[in-house]
Amino acid sequence: MFGNWLKTSILMAGIIALFGVVGGALGGQQGMLIALVFGGAANLWAYWFSDQAVLKMYNAQPVDKRNAPQLYNMVKDLAERAELPMPKVYIIDEAQPNAFATGRNPEHAAVCATTGIMRLLTERELRGVMGHELAHVKHRDILISTISASVAGAISVLAQFGMLFGGRHGEGERAHPLAAMLMMFLAPLAAMLIQMAVSRTREFGADAGGAEFCGDPDALADALKKIDAYAKSIPFETAEEHLATAQMMIINPLLGGGLRNLFSTHPPTGERIARLRAMPMQ
């Protein structure tokens, strides 16, 4: 738990530093000060509200035991096994099979599943996936992933805003347009690299935790194999528009290569499956 708080602190400090670099490149000392203030405010906003922003971005709809009894009761049972407070449960109307968790702590957590994953998986396999997401909640990975997803986008907006208005240094000279253009690309890239540094290995831990909670490592392994096969051929438009959110999903939701591959913070699915197959049944 302390390790994740340390990672979160490093991430937030890195985000503020990035804002300062972008502001300095686009507007000199004055621009740096403004950007640092903006970065601090963005961190505070991200801590308290980024989970709701992500849920709204994906048009996630809350469900309960009346309108989605199977999913709700499944999450409730797994949360009890994991000794976690009952999270809010959401469904996203998307064909691609995927799922994620969000929130700032276990007391304010939410788990989301797409309609595609609910159609594709058996009940046993879906339990493995929901166990994986609750493991992210238990390990407090969700704050890191949600903040990085929200603020990486804010840095990109800041860079674009600076390029649009040109930015001026303190002595009144207009910032070099090449510097502004570079910041437009390098700032979100740098933010993405920070989130990769603190989140890439967490999937192995969530896989192991999810297998423990559901008591069936092969169920999650089977689910990952199915999801990976289908996700590669079914577009997820919201994720494609908001690349920084891709690292929140159980499987990389992005299609194509190039820059999109850099936004995949997931280990190879084959390696994840092999580790799960090697685990004993609970």
Q: Enumerate the active-site residues.
A: 133
Q: DSSP letter for 249, please.
A: B
Cα–Cα distance list, 246 to 119, 175, 188, 252, 264 (Å): 21, 33, 14, 6, 7
Q: Which residue is associated with the tokens 């804002």? A: 19
Output Rg (C-alpha) for the chain, integer angstroms. 20
User: Kind and range of the H or E element at 177?
Assistant: helix 177-199
* 3-state secondary structure at position 155: helix
Rounded-to-5 percentages of helix, strand, coil across the chain? 70, 10, 25
Q: Which of 39, 109, 99, 142 is nearest to 228 (CA)?
A: 99
Angstrom distance (rounded) from CA 180 to CA 28: 12
Angstrom distance (rounded) from CA 78 to CA 98: 18
Angstrom distance (rounded) from CA 57 to CA 239: 9
